[in-house]
Amino acid sequence: MTRTVLIGGGGTAGHVFPALAVGEALRGSDADVEPVFVGVADRLEARLVPEAGFRLHHIEAASVPRRPTPALLKVPGVLRGAVRRCREIAEEEAAAGVITFGGYVSFPLNRAAARSSLPLIVHEQNSVPGLANRVSARWADRIAVTFPGSATRFKDLERCVVTGNPVRADVLALDRAAARPAARAAFGLDPDLPTLLVFGGSQGARSINQAVADAHGRWGQVPVQILHAAGDQGHGSAAEAWDRARAEHPDGPPVQLVDFIRDMASAYAAADVVVCRAGATSIAELTVLGIPSVLVPYPHATADHQTENGRALERAGGATVVADADLDGASLFAAVRPLLEDAQRYEAMARSARAFGRPDAAELLAGLVLELIDGGRQS
């Protein structure tokens, strides 16, 4: 008899990709389990989940405004309706258990699981737990965390398990050395030049975009080429910044500017060093691949959790953190240059990053799910 596991994770790639990775692990297990997703019709999961071959139930969910606004008055009613709908879905699917990946989309499913007495796993991607997970943790049978230090931020320490953050299958399976020639060719890069990959997420990061262009005249004889994903919103201003940089420093390194990279596995294969934000998904991908990085935490992240994420990897020796307020062309160049010129330092950071990574995260979480629905709940 097939058992259904409901998975909640949506809104952003940081929630959707780990959820999909665990869905794939459950689908690929020997157990007779069907992962079924719960999400919102106009968010990222509405496209990515069906593309991955999973069924998706839609609910209405409301984010809680950070400051008092009229929209706050609608939240209780929407939340009650979402919890009610999640309980209906659980009944329709005869759900055996629930696993969620944070964010306001997951909260109604967590509450419904508690009210329906279903086994529940809550996964926290970041060093500092978000509000939804802090509240939902009181109902969870297991609290899975990415960073070991995160466990101390939950009251029920005995329910916490360090699993790491699940990584999508195409990244996990990547052989960077074997894929590098084709990847660099696909991006129009020189096959032999060390490559700096710079990105700031789907919307881009203005400070990173400006800093990498401002560093254009500093490279001198350092052999490097740059693959820069400026984001959908930042591409126009980044293109203007690069035009000015090239005009002022025509002898600067080759640059390939794109708006958004859809095939991140190929981008990682092409790269030697990465500059990016310190999101949990980016860190998980960089570490399972052992890519040295310069991390620039998003300064407005809730509870400054990206700084905590980045510092955890920096303490382990796998990254250098540059605060957004300190980022400019000079600081970016100073952070990246040693990794391109000092082979021993590069290899040490690559080893440390790889040691920090958890390539088995999806399987560990899938195992926790199966353990719970097979009767391994904690009282």
pLDDT band at 126 (very low <50, low <70, confident <90, very high): very high
- Which pLDDT does position 156 carry in this prediction? 83
144, 265: one domain: no
Task: Compute the mean pLDDT over every residue in the chain, rounded to the nearest whole number.
Answer: 92
- Which pLDDT does position 68 carry in this prediction? 63
Does residue 378 lie in a domain region?
Answer: no
181, 284: one domain: yes
**Is pLDDT at 281 greater than 60 in this prediction?**
yes
65, 117: one domain: yes
Residues 134-186 pLDDT 10s: 999 999 999 999 998 898 899 888 999 999 999 998 999 999 999 999 999 99
- Which pLDDT does position 249 carry in this prediction? 96
131, 263: one domain: no
129, 270: one domain: no
CATH label of the domain that carries residue 42: 3.40.50.2000
Does residue 367 lie in a domain region?
Answer: yes
Range of the structural domain that residue 214 is part of = 170-356
93, 155: one domain: yes
Does residue 9 lie in a domain region?
Answer: yes
220, 333: one domain: yes
Does residue 234 lie in a domain region?
Answer: yes
Q: Closest Cα partner for 355 from 306, 274, 275, 289?
A: 289
Total number of domains constituting the chain? 2
Range of weakest confidence among 23-32, 78-87, 198-207 = 198-207
pLDDT band at 31 (very low <50, low <70, confident <90, very high): confident
Range of weakest confidence among 58-62, 169-173, 238-242 = 58-62
- Which pLDDT does position 9 carry in this prediction? 86
Q: In what order do the strands lie in the sheet with 293-295?
A: 255-258, 225-229, 195-199, 273-276, 293-295, 319-321
Residues 196-211 pLDDT 10s: 999 987 555 899 999 9
- Which pLDDT does position 334 carry in this prediction? 98
Does residue 330 lie in a domain region?
Answer: yes
Does residue 144 lie in a domain region?
Answer: yes
10, 64: one domain: yes
323, 181: one domain: yes
243, 345: one domain: yes
- Give the type of residue at 289: L
- Which pLDDT does position 78 carry in this prediction? 77
- Which pLDDT does position 86 carry in this prediction? 96
Rounded average pLDDT over 204-231: 94
- Which pLDDT does position 271 carry in this prediction? 98
Does residue 257 lie in a domain region?
Answer: yes
146, 174: one domain: no
- Which pLDDT does position 376 carry in this prediction? 61
185, 51: one domain: no
Range of weakest confidence among 10-14, 33-37, 267-271 = 10-14
Q: Say if CB 22 and CB 166 are below 8 A apart.
A: yes
- Which pLDDT does position 232 carry in this prediction? 83
**Is pLDDT at 66 greater than 80 in this prediction?**
no
> Is 162 strand, coil or helix?
strand
Whether the model clears a pTM of 0.75, i.e. scores above it, the answer is: yes
- Which pLDDT does position 120 carry in this prediction? 98
Does residue 379 lie in a domain region?
Answer: no
